[in-house]
Amino acid sequence: MTRGSIVLGRRSLLLALAAMAPTLAVGTAGAEADEPDRIASLGGSVTEIIFALGAGDRVVARDTTSSFPPEVEDLPDVGYVRALSPEGVLSVSPGLILAEEGAGPPETINVLKNANLPYFVIPDAYDRAGVVAKITAVGEAIGELAKAQALARDIDDRLQAAQARAAARGADQRKRVLFILSTQNDRILASGMGTAAAGIIALAGGDNAVTAFDGYKPLTDEAVIAAAPDVILMMDRGGDHGAAAAELVAMPAVSLTPAGKTGAVVRMDGLYLLGFGPRTADAVDELSSALYGG
Q: Give the span between the Cα atoms of 21 and 41, in whole angstroms.
A: 20
Q: Is the pTM of the predicted complex or chain greater than 0.85?
A: yes
**Signed CA dihedral, 8, 9, 12, 18: sign only:** negative
**Signed CA dihedral, 202, 208, 212, 217: sign only:** negative
Residues 126 and 82 occupy one common structural domain: yes
Domain harbouring 90, CATH code: 3.40.50.1980
226-252 mean pLDDT: 84
Which domain, by its residues, includes 136? Answer: 3-156
pLDDT of residue 246: 87
pLDDT band of residue 34 (cuts 50, 70, 90) is low
Structural domain ending residue among the three candidates 130, 156, 182: 156
Residues 205 and 151 occupy one common structural domain: no
Q: Give me the number of domains the chain comprises.
A: 2
Of 70-79, 197-206, 230-239, 268-277, minimum mean pLDDT range:
230-239
Q: Is residue 87 part of a domain?
A: yes
The total of other beta-carbon atoms located within 10 Å of residue 274's CB is: 23
Residues 92 and 208 occupy one common structural domain: no
Percentage of the chain lying above the pLDDT 70 cut:
86
pLDDT band of residue 186 (cuts 50, 70, 90) is confident
Residues 183 and 288 occupy one common structural domain: yes
Residues 188 and 129 occupy one common structural domain: no
List the beta bridge partners of residue 218: 189
Q: Is residue 163 part of a domain?
A: no
Percentage of the chain lying above the pLDDT 90 cut:
82
Q: Give the span between the Cα atoms of 198 and 230, in whole angstroms.
A: 15
Q: Three-state DSSP class for 207?
A: strand
Structural domain ending residue among the three candidates 127, 156, 185: 156
Average pLDDT, the chain: 89
246-266 mean pLDDT: 95
Q: What is the pLDDT of residues 40-51, one digit of tens each?
A: 999 999 999 999
Structural domain ending residue among the three candidates 126, 156, 186: 156
Q: Give the span between the Cα atoms of 102 and 225, in whole angstroms.
A: 32
Q: Give the span between the Cα atoms of 275 and 246, in whole angstroms.
A: 27
Question: What's the burial of 72, exposed, middle or buried (CB within 10 Å: 0-12/13-18/19+)?
Answer: buried
Q: What is the pLDDT of residues 122-152, one digit of tens each?
A: 999 999 999 999 999 999 999 999 999 999 9
Q: Is the pLDDT reported for residue 26 higher than 90?
A: no
